[in-house]
Amino acid sequence: MRMLRKFFIFNFILMFLLLSSCATKPKAPIKDFVRTAASSEESLARVETIGIINDVCLVRDITGNDDYVSIEDSKLAEAHMTKSACAYMEQKGYTVKVHLSPFVGGFKTPDKETKVADCKGGDVTMHGAPFYTHDTIREDKPFQESLIHSIRKALAAVDQMKKSPSEAISFDDETQKYLKHIADHENIDTALFIIGNGVIVSTGKSVGQAVATGMLTGILTMGMVTYSKYDVSYLDSYIVLVDLKSGKMLWSNSFRKKQIDPTEEEFYTKNWAATALYHLPNK
């Protein structure tokens, strides 16, 4: 009887230790869309100064057809995104010299006008992209042009159409000219372009659609509410590390986070930063 009791106690302790070790070991984020250039390790070792350039555009998806870009929400997301990215990059041994959030929606198609409001519930007007330009660069048209062109090209390069995940992407001559302008203007040799494109779904709309969906699918999902692709808030992120001097993309990642609040700081510090930058090689 005593031996049997010891056996159960031993197994209980062993199981507890195993469960504890599993609980404390964080799971690495997925890397399905991480792309690393073949020569990136050598190039990353030579990186001295990095500038973070980010551009976020958040749309408030409300009931009806009055969805609009919210400048206030987008700028708030940019601030949280930049802060968390800076901290994570420095943990990896990189020196972040500058961080810029020059636009809201600079990556968007410029010839299409969109509904824009300064804040939630504010007056809505029609604007072409970018929907907001920071005061510090408003008078510097050449730098604006370099930033907008480079941000759009960086976003396009994430797809790496017809390229293998390990193949280095070289930007065209025109883009390289703009990249070098950024390098000289900010005195940096590498830029981490971070682009965010998301939707904030109002609680009323989300719950209303969830109830409707749940009524249709409740039997199949054992009563749990299910959501279709656009019923909840989401944020698409595109991260591109570029050697400004050589005009080559060294590393990139892209992913979607949904059922989140893209304006909350905690989302970026506890979730977004690791997903975005975990697989970037350490310095």
User: What are the boundaries of each domain within the chain?
Assistant: 30-277
Q: Which residue has the higher pLDDT, 35 or 31?
A: 35
Top-confidence residue, 14 or 67? 67
pLDDT digits (tens, 9 = 90+) for 269-279: 999 999 999 99
- Report d(CA 20, CA 16) in Å as an integer: 6
pLDDT of 230 reads 53
> Which pLDDT value is given to residue 211?
35
Sequence length of the chain is 283
pLDDT at residue 203, as a whole number: 64
Q: Say how many CA atoms lie within 13 Å of 181 toward its Cβ.
A: 17
Question: What share of the chain in percent tops pLDDT 70?
Answer: 74
Task: Give the confidence band of 228 by pLDDT, cuts at 50, 70, 90.
Answer: very low
Assess whether pLDDT exceeds 70 at residue 176: yes
**Can you tell me which residue has the tokens 């080559």?**
248
For the chain, the C-alpha Rg in angstroms (whole number) is 23
The pLDDT score that the predictor gives to residue 23 is 44
Q: What is the pLDDT of residue 163?
A: 59
> Average model confidence (pLDDT) for the chain?
82
pLDDT (average), residues 210-219: 35
Q: In the structure, what pLDDT confidence band is assigned to residue 42 with cuts at 50, 70 and 90?
A: confident
Determine the pLDDT at residue 118. 96
pLDDT of residue 43: 79
Residue, of 121 and 239, whose pLDDT is higher: 239
